Every structure is written in C-alpha cells, then in structure tokens.
Amino acid sequence: MSQAAFKAEQALGHGDNAATVQDITNPSQHEGAGDPNVKMKALAWMGKNKVEMIETQKPVIMEPRDVILKITGSTVCGSDLHLLHGTVVELQKGDILGHEFCGIVDEVGSEVTKLKKGQRVVASFQIACGDCYYCKQKLSSQCERTNANTLENGMYGGRTAGMFGYSHFTGGFAGGQSEYTRVPFGDVNLLPLPDDVPDEKGLYLSDVLATSWHCVVDTGVKKGDVVAIWGAGPIGQMAADFSLMNGASRVIMIDSNWRVDYVKEKYPHIETIDFSKLGKDSVTSKLKEMCGGRGPDVCLECAAGEYAKGWAHTVEMALGLETDTSEIVNEMITSARNFGSCGITGVYVGFTNHFNIGSLMERGIRLIGNGQAPVHLYWESLLKMVQEGKIDPLKMVSHRVRLEDLDKVYYQFEKKADGMQKVFAETKFSAPACEGSPSLTTY
C-alpha cells in the first residue's frame, strides 16, 4: 500500500511549491545525486517490516545551499516504527531512513554562508527554507517550500515541511542513519554545537527534546496543573520532565510494559498507571480516582494512533476502515476534567472511527493537534538548557550502538527488547563516548 500510494502520487504529479529537489532518498538511485567513487553505509527501508544495512554512494552537493554532513551520531525514533510498519505511506525500497542526526560539516555549497567545513552541528528533523510565511515565525515544521507532495496536500488540506528519512509523503529526502547526508538549506537546518555539548547530548535537539517541549507548551501546561501522559517512551518521559519544569504539580504516566518500571526508577516523583494491570478499571476511571474525581487538567498523547488496544479497532484498521485508533484520544477526552486540554503529539496518519465528539463538545475539552514539532522555534533555548545542565538528555538513552547494527536495533527497539529505548548510534567518524554515555552494545 505504501509503495502503491507513491505510484498514485506520481500519477497526480507534484506541486510546484518546492524550492529544493524532491525524491532523492538514496544517492545511488538518482542520476547526479551520488559520487560513484565513494561508498557509504546506510540503513534502508526494504518493504513492510523490513529494513537492511546497504552500501550506497556518498551524496554530493546538488544545490548551492546544500551541506554534506559527515554523520557522527544518529538514533531511532518511535516515528521510525511507523515507517517500518508501513503505516506512513509512500515509502520506496531503498529509501534511507533517519531524521535525528548530528555530525561534522564535510562540504558546503557556494551559497552557504554560516557554516564551515569541520564544524560540529545537529540537524533538525524537518527541512525548512528559512524564508516562507511559516519559517519567518520559526514554525519550521510547516515550511511551505520543501515538500511538493500532492497526496499529503489533498488528504490534509495543506502540507508539512519536507522531512529527512520520512518517505516521499514528506518530500522524499535521504535520512541520517548513514555515514553522510545531504542537508538542503544547510544554514537554516543545522545548528552549531558548542564544545561543552557532546554529540550524545546535542543529537536529541533534532527531534525528541523539541517535540516534547512543544507538546507541553503548545497544549498549555500551566502552574499547578495535573498532567497525564499516554506513552512512557522517550517522548513521554521528556514531556514529563518538561511538564514539571513548566509548573505542573503532578505528572501521571500511562503505559503497559517495563517502561512503567523504568519511569518509577528514574523519575521517582512521577506517578504511573500500568493499563495492563487495571483489571475491571479503565484508564479513565483510574485517573478520576487519582485526581479528586474530576480528572487531570492536561492530557498528552505521546504514544501513536497505530497502537489499537481492543479487537474492534484492530479489526477496523486491518480492514482499512480506519487508519488510526481513537482509543487513546477518547481516553484522554473522557479522563480530562471539564474544560481541560488534550494535546496529540504521537503520530496519527489519516482517519479514525468512534471518536467521542459528544464528550468533547459537552464538556468543553480543548483538543489540540500539536503537529510535527517546529524544532527551529525551540532548539536554541533548549541547547542553552542542556549547556546549563537543566536538561539531561542522557536520562532517556539506554544503549550505545553501531550504525552497522542499526537493522537489528530496529527490531530490538520495536519489541522493546533488552530494555531498549533511546539509542545513540555511532559511526566510524564518532568521537569516543562522553562521560555518562552507556557503553557500546554490538548485535
């Protein structure tokens, strides 16, 4: 279905809004995109539930504002699982994945003014032009000039920015789970890392830190609020920390596996609900009980729409009657206190059934789509907080792995095996591990 959607979109044709070349997802597969004399390793999508390490060509400068980045760190995101599963459409075999990465500037195009060869930088997961209506407000995830995809435009009534390693649905850009990546509008999409911020901390400015911060402030956590968070993965954990930093009086996290224990150990001040152990209780009734009968002030969705709980949504999704389950969103709506707020940061792709619009309307619930997070709006201030030690990204990092093993790491991450959550993937160009980094695990 993912590949068929790409064919359909090709038939429709791209829009004419993009200011950078589209659909360069693997330098070997496009004329003029790679250097035939230099090979590199990369992780590629090879079909539903299948990723492989491949050898391909090193990317070359294609446009004057391009930067070629030598990758020194990347990771796997919960969002990559939606690609692995084929939930996000328009992938092609051989597409290089990875939207969170940092590295060293290797080559600059003739119009790059702010960066020099040898500089350490982190990339934002979205590709922004820096000049359009949204970019001028730093709402970089909604850049109007980096994604010409007509299917996304038609389905959503507007489109997001282009994204690294995130299918042709978002422009078709090769990702950073590789040894080199081409970064369009390099001056805009790369943030220099100071010497006191090692890669193992700077990397996460690409996505997870900005996303979690955005989830909290965009949904509107205020002083004294009780916040409930669905999904205790890296995004949920950072959102919990950031809720407290933004004044929340209590945070309650909901999940169903060892991550609940991880949270209990690492974040002792955070309360948890393991929904697999609730018996006759529902998440909503448990939250009402924990929150004076009324429910939390703010609910944050940090899980995803592809994770159906009951058989009804499992069947409907399997039959293509809906693309996403409404179960978590309904739980948030019914759990929140009247006039409370609910924010959706976990990925939802299309349409859902049995949405509890009645509760939403009658009880005045403010349901907010947080969108793909605008990294550029936050990454400078978040970097400062990392420098000052106010944020410790290593708290959520469970493993240090090698790029060469990333295909195996995907399946471990998917199964949440070996206590795996956020990883740091090193390459042959990486510096020795910084203090506090987990030691290397090979697969």
Ligand X SMILES: NC(=O)c1ccc[n+]([C@@H]2O[C@H](COP(=O)([O-])OP(=O)(O)OC[C@H]3O[C@@H](n4cnc5c(N)ncnc54)[C@H](O)[C@@H]3O)[C@@H](O)[C@H]2O)c1
Q: Which stretch binds ligand X (CB under 6 A): 64-72, 184-192, 244-252, 300-308?
A: 300-308
What angle is formed at CA 8 by the lines to CA 6 and CA 9, rounded to 5 degrees?
65
Q: Which of 231, 213, 215, 234 is nearest to 327 (CA)?
A: 231
**Residue in 122, 188, 228, 254 binding ligand X, rule: CB under 6 A:** 254
**Amino acid (one-letter) located at 235:** I
Contact call for residue 378 and ligand X (CB under 6 A): no
Q: 427 is written with which tokens?
A: 């390459």
Contact call for residue 241 and ligand X (CB under 6 A): no
Within 267-418, residue ranges assigned H as helices are 283-290, 311-318, 327-335, 357-362, 375-387, 406-415
Q: 95 is written with which tokens?
A: 């597409």
Q: Which stretch binds ligand X (CB under 6 A): 13-21, 58-66, 254-262, 381-389?
A: 254-262
- Smallest separation (angstroms) from Zn ion to the CB of 109: 18
Q: CB under 5 to 8 A by kind: which of Zn ion, ligand X, none does 143 bind? A: Zn ion
Site pattern 397..426 for ligand X (x: CB under 6 A): ------------------------x-----
**Residue in 39, 48, 93, 309 binding ligand X, rule: CB under 6 A:** 309
**Residue in 73, 78, 86, 103 binding ligand X, rule: CB under 6 A:** 78
Q: Which of 422, 83, 70 is nearest to 233 (CA)?
A: 422
Q: Which stretch binds ligand X (CB under 6 A): 102-110, 231-239, 240-248, 310-318?
A: 231-239
What angle is formed at CA 323 by the lines to CA 319 and CA 327, rounded to 5 degrees?
100
Site pattern 269..288 for ligand X (x: CB under 6 A): ------x-------------
Cα separation, 120 vs 193, in Å, equals 6
What angle is formed at CA 79 by the lines to CA 261 and CA 371, rounded to 5 degrees?
105
Contact call for residue 228 and ligand X (CB under 6 A): no
**Residue in 5, 21, 44, 77 binding Zn ion, rule: CB under 5 A:** 77
Contact call for residue 132 and Zn ion (CB under 5 A): yes
Cα separation, 194 vs 192, in Å, equals 6
Q: Which stretch binds ligand X (CB under 6 A): 220-228, 296-304, 352-360, 377-385?
A: 296-304
Q: 21 is written with which tokens?
A: 């070349």
Residue nearest to ligand X (CB): 78
413 φ, ψ (degrees, to nearest 5): -65, -40
Cα separation, 389 vs 397, in Å, equals 16
**H helices, E strands: number in the chain:** 15, 18
Contact call for residue 68 and Zn ion (CB under 5 A): no
Whole-angstrom CA distances from 189 to 45, 115, 203, 281 are 24, 11, 13, 46
**Residue in 346, 377, 402, 405 binding ligand X, rule: CB under 6 A:** 346
- Smallest separation (angstroms) from Zn ion to the CB of 371: 13
Q: CB under 5 to 8 A by kind: which of ligand X, Zn ion, none does 233 bind? A: ligand X
Contact call for residue 257 and ligand X (CB under 6 A): yes
Contact call for residue 207 and ligand X (CB under 6 A): yes
Q: Which residues contact 157 (CB under 8 A, 6 or more apart)?
A: none
**Interacting positions 109-168 with ligand X (CB under 6 A):** none
Q: Which of 174, 169, 173 is nearest to 6 (CA)?
A: 169
Q: Which of 288, 270, 215 is nearest to 246 (CA)?
A: 215
**Residue in 81, 112, 270, 329 binding ligand X, rule: CB under 6 A:** 81
CB closer to ligand X out of 33 and 209: 209
> Tell me, what DSSP letter sits at residue 363?
T
Cα separation, 37 vs 258, in Å, equals 46
**Residue in 251, 302, 383, 397 binding ligand X, rule: CB under 6 A:** 302
CA 392 to chain centre: 18
Site residues (vs Zn ion, CB under 5 A): 77, 79, 128-129, 132, 135, 143, 145, 207
Site residues (vs ligand X, CB under 6 A): 77-79, 81-82, 207, 211, 230-236, 254-257, 259, 275, 302-304, 307, 309, 328, 345-347, 370, 372-373, 421
